[in-house]
Amino acid sequence: SDTVLSVRDLSVAFETRRGTLTAIDGVSFDIAKGEILGVVGESGAGKSVTGAAVIGLIDPPGRIAGGTITLRGERIDDLPPERMRRVRGRRIGMIFQDPLTSLDPLYRVGDQIVETIRTHTDLSQKAARARAIALLAEVGIPAPERRIDGYPHEFSGGMRQRVVIALALAAEPELIIADEPTTALDVSVQAQIITLLKRLCRDHGTAVMLVTHDMGVIAEAADRVAVMYSGRIAEIGPVADVVREPRHPYAAGLMGAIPTLTQSPGRLAQIPGSMPRLTAIPAGCAFHPRCPKVFSRCRVERPEPIPVGPSRVACHLFDAQENAA
């Protein structure tokens, strides 16, 4: 099959003095070869934690408390740390908001890319350097045969993020986790980076999990989108459906305004109220205190995702409509 990443019923818990807090609760999704899945939601929805779980970087006292994560059919959620480190370098690439998280300021950018290539392939030093130059050219670094010997601080923010993308691609990973990859960049540069990421993942057949709070980025880049709320997926489906015709009331609220990438930075529409704290997740549907469509059942019974058209939606409204029909 074309499925690269498969997450099933994932739960992530944090042990605290006050007890166990559930940050992610029953999250399931797939990402296919060459596909970009956007993961969107307000801060605290669990987007980054989901990404961190996939790459095995949940910091204690957090832990994966349930479910499975498989990469091309192979379980990766229960690997020993040493093996997971290898999976991260070779099979999963990472792009974070701050390029300096990935780039060591004390090393020439080329040395970092060459080292990654040599760690994960059998290429000679010379061949790895040639490949690094080709990668830098591919991500749009001008004069790559010269710039390869530059240090991270010698690149602009946008160029530095291009270097990070080259680094993420260096080992030809099957999957890239990109967490707010454009959030720190100028708006004009954001669009270029998104276009680049989209083209590269098509060309290389890389699956991408694109975590962002920015609906403009999702609308521009993603094939499918998962809208998260309070550690769960509220709605997941093709971007055209979820963006143009969101079903879940929370998703509908978010889609209230989608500025394009050429306008001001995309902001999620304001929904009155705020995301509940982990210590006080409401019973029933976690969104119910903010939901304009709330009804009695929502306060007591948690909605499970059900198929609605090509999407899956976790909201009693659809269940109720079905039953009423």
Q: Which residue is nearest to Mg ion (CB)?
A: 48
Residue number, 103 or 228, with CB nearest to Mg ion: 228
CA distance 319 to 248: 12
The CB-of-48 to Mg ion minimum distance in angstroms stands at 3
Where along the sequence are the contacts to ligand SF4 (CB under 6 A)? 248-250, 285, 287-288, 291, 293-294, 298, 303, 315-317
Binding partner selected for residue 288 from Mg ion, ligand SF4, none, CB under the kind-specific 5 to 8 Å limit: ligand SF4
Residue number, 129 or 248, with CB nearest to ligand SF4: 248
The CB-of-47 to Mg ion minimum distance in angstroms stands at 6
CA distance 33 to 175: 8
Binding partner selected for residue 303 from Mg ion, ligand SF4, none, CB under the kind-specific 5 to 8 Å limit: ligand SF4
Binding to Mg ion (CB under 5 A) within 12-71 occurs at: 48
Binding partner selected for residue 48 from ligand SF4, Mg ion, none, CB under the kind-specific 5 to 8 Å limit: Mg ion
Torsion of CA 42, 44, 46, 51, to 10 degrees: 90
Give the tokens for residue 204.
Answer: 């290389």
Between the two ends of the chain, the Cα-to-Cα distance in Å is: 36
CA distance 152 to 159: 9
CA distance 303 to 25: 12
Give the tokens for residue 202.
Answer: 């098509």
Binding to Mg ion (CB under 5 A) within 97-126 occurs at: none
- The SS3 call for residue 141 is coil
Binding partner selected for residue 50 from Mg ion, ligand SF4, none, CB under the kind-specific 5 to 8 Å limit: none
Question: 51 with 95: CB under 8 angstroms?
Answer: no
Binding partner selected for residue 133 from Mg ion, ligand SF4, none, CB under the kind-specific 5 to 8 Å limit: none
Question: 258 with 216: CB under 8 angstroms?
Answer: yes
Residue number, 48 or 190, with CB nearest to Mg ion: 48
The CB-of-284 to ligand SF4 minimum distance in angstroms stands at 7
Residue number, 160 or 248, with CB nearest to ligand SF4: 248
Residue number, 48 or 161, with CB nearest to Mg ion: 48
Q: What is the DSSP letter of 212?
A: E
Counting Cα atoms < 13 Å in the Cβ hemisphere of 197 gives 38
List interacting residues with Mg ion (CB under 5 A).
48
